[in-house]
A and B are shown apart, each in its own frame.
Chain A
Amino acid sequence: MYTGSLRRLIDELGRLPGVGPKSAQRIAFYLLKVPTEDATRLAEAIIDVKENTELCPTCLNVADRGELCPICGDARRSTTTICVVEDPRDIVAVERTGQFHGRYHVLHGALNPLEGTGPDQLKVKELLGRLEPEGVEEIILCTNPNLEGEATALYLARLLAPLGLIVTRIASGLPVGGDLEYADELTLGRALEGRRNVAPSEEN
């Protein structure tokens, strides 16, 4: 029904996450119509990112080929605290807060036993290998607040705590801007657990 090259494009687009057959067809026809230089720019960007990025040898974040990622390459950042995340995109989210000044470690996944993802499939060995050389004192477990992320955090806590490190988990709290009455009981329960003192400290 379609020519060979159009068919091929639709097939390739259809493999992208979140793109169904209909969307793949729509995007393919859109690309067919755009000026050649726009399509070339997209094609080159794809080739460029594949050829010129790889994983940071230290934290496994995305980095330019043969180099440390911008965070590991920044000498001002503390090496004693590592924030462990599931995915490089989570680094972007934590960086946006401006509240963390240490380094990261990307696990490239989370425990999902029903899909067959166990500890061996995550970049855990690489994390252990960093502890001594970098003089790490604290690990912040910043995995997703869902079952996979929690299982991963429990696993890592059990592995890391006996090594004499401070192991903390990000608090689950209530979304700012939301109404308390809509909070589910797990989130609210965790928020209560993680409550903090707001009374002004007494002056002496």
Chain B
Amino acid sequence: MAQLRDEGVILRTYRLGEADRIVVAMTRHHGKVRAVAKGVRKTTSKFGSRLEPLTYVSLLLWRGRSDLDIVNQAEVIERYWKIREDYTRMSSGQIMLEVIDQITQEGQQDERVLETLTKALRVLDDPERDPMLVAPAFFLRILELEGAGPVVDRCVSCGDDDVALVAFDLNEGGALCQQCRRGRPLSPEALLLLQRILGGDLGSVLTGTPPEGAHEVDALATEAMEVHLDRRLKAPRALTGL
């Protein structure tokens, strides 16, 4: 058995047997890992809450021949207290976890994905920030990392960067001019927001109350992610109850 040291964010857990859980984590050096946490459901477990989703931990794992590792130790690196105290923040956090779980393969390593996730979780945990646009902005950033970031600085079809962009087509992957228009209409406010988010102006976008066009960008980013994944996301749909 090899001993493996890494750090990562817990994405989800499954009950296993009487008292164990399978823990799925997005790690820095080993990509997505699946490991058994023995006895974690007992109230006296040494792991306590450390292996709960939405926790950033350092892990010591045993890796044997089985496709499941075994968690030996876990220490908290970042604990997002505010996310756990607010329904909206927690919902956004869970939606981001689902995307990471869907987009990453086991053993496929990409440090940038973990960086993007922890950065987004830190913002979501900041009570000064409005949570509304955190998940959509995170989706757009992840799409960029995947080489599937939407084109919003010119018409994705004719390439003209000196015309008004009035529509957005998910399959084309970008905004379109009046001549080439397809897909859904795009408001000037939403276009500006998309440009600011993808242009690295995320910090100011997330300051204060959500700007105009925020709902449109939210819907668009979620659908763009679903088109990229080629499947529907469960969490955003399950959580629209409030």
Chain A contact residues, CB within 8 Å of chain B? 18, 111-121, 145-147, 150-151, 154-155, 157-159, 175, 177-178, 182-187, 189
Q: Apart from A113-B235, A118-B238, A150-B90, what are 16 other A-B pairs with CB-CB below 8 Å? A: A112-B238, A113-B238, A114-B12, A116-B235, A116-B237, A118-B237, A118-B239, A119-B242, A145-B49, A147-B52, A150-B84, A151-B90, A154-B87, A186-B48, A186-B76, A189-B81
Contact B49–A151 (Cβ < 8 Å)? no
Contact B49–A184 (Cβ < 8 Å)? yes
The 4 tightest CB contacts between A and B, nearest first, are A184-B48, A118-B238, A119-B241, A113-B235
Q: Which residues 197-230 of B have a CB within 8 angstroms of A?
A: none
B104 to chain A, nearest CB (A): 14
Instruction: Take A113-B235, A117-B238 as given contacts and tell me if A155 and B52 are in contact as well, using a CB distance cutoff of 8 Å.
Output: no
B177 to chain A, nearest CB (A): 37
Instruction: Take A118-B238, A184-B49 as given contacts and tell me if A154 and B95 are in contact as well, using a CB distance cutoff of 8 Å.
Output: no
| B43 sits at the interface (CB 8 A) | yes
- Subset of 19 A-B contacts with CB under 8 Å: A111-B238, A113-B91, A113-B234, A113-B239, A114-B101, A117-B238, A118-B239, A119-B239, A119-B242, A120-B241, A147-B52, A147-B54, A151-B90, A154-B87, A155-B87, A155-B242, A158-B87, A178-B44, A186-B52
Summarize A's interface: helix, strand, loop or mixed: helix
Which residue of B43, B49, B97, B239 is within 8 Å of A186 (Cβ)?
B49
| B66 sits at the interface (CB 8 A) | no
Complex alpha-carbon distance, A65 and B126, angstroms = 51
| B94 sits at the interface (CB 8 A) | yes
Contact A184–B50 (Cβ < 8 Å)? yes
Complex alpha-carbon distance, A189 and B85, angstroms = 13
Which residue of B43, B47, B240 is within 8 Å of A175 (Cβ)?
B43
| B53 sits at the interface (CB 8 A) | yes
Complex alpha-carbon distance, A186 and B49, angstroms = 6
Complex alpha-carbon distance, A177 and B43, angstroms = 11
| B147 sits at the interface (CB 8 A) | no
Contact B49–A187 (Cβ < 8 Å)? yes
Chain B residue nearest to A121 (CB atoms) is: B238
Complex alpha-carbon distance, A189 and B79, angstroms = 11
Which residue of B17, B47, B52, B241 is within 8 Å of A18 (Cβ)?
B17
Please name all residues of chain A whose beta carbon is closer than 8 Å to the beta carbon of B90 when the two chains form the complex. Answer: 147, 150-151, 154
Chain B residue nearest to A20 (CB atoms) is: B17
Please name all residues of chain B whose beta carbon is closer than 8 Å to the beta carbon of A121 when the two chains form the complex. Answer: 238
Q: How many A-B residue pairs have CB under 8 A?
A: 85
Question: Chain B interface: which size bin?
Answer: 35 or more
Contact B94–A155 (Cβ < 8 Å)? no
| B98 sits at the interface (CB 8 A) | yes
Please name all residues of chain A whose beta carbon is closer than 8 Å to the beta carbon of B238 when the two chains form the complex. Answer: 111-113, 116-118, 121
Q: Which residues 50-96 of B have a CB within 8 angstroms of A?
A: 50, 52-54, 76, 79, 81, 84-87, 90-91, 94-95
Complex alpha-carbon distance, A150 and B91, angstroms = 11
| B46 sits at the interface (CB 8 A) | yes
Most A CB within 10 A of own CB, among B18, B48, B90, B94: B48
Complex alpha-carbon distance, A157 and B86, angstroms = 10
Complex alpha-carbon distance, A115 and B242, angstroms = 18
Q: Mark B160-199, 1 if CB is under 8 A from A, else 0.
A: 0000000000000000000000000000000000000000
Chain B residue nearest to A153 (CB atoms) is: B87
Chain A residue nearest to B11 (CB atoms) is: A114
Most A CB within 10 A of own CB, among B44, B49, B79, B237: B49
Chain B residue nearest to A188 (CB atoms) is: B48
Complex alpha-carbon distance, A20 and B231, angstroms = 30
Chain A residue nearest to B18 (CB atoms) is: A18
A116 to chain B, nearest CB (A): 4
Chain B residue nearest to A152 (CB atoms) is: B87
Most B CB within 10 A of own CB, among A120, A157, A184: A184
Complex alpha-carbon distance, A146 and B51, angstroms = 10
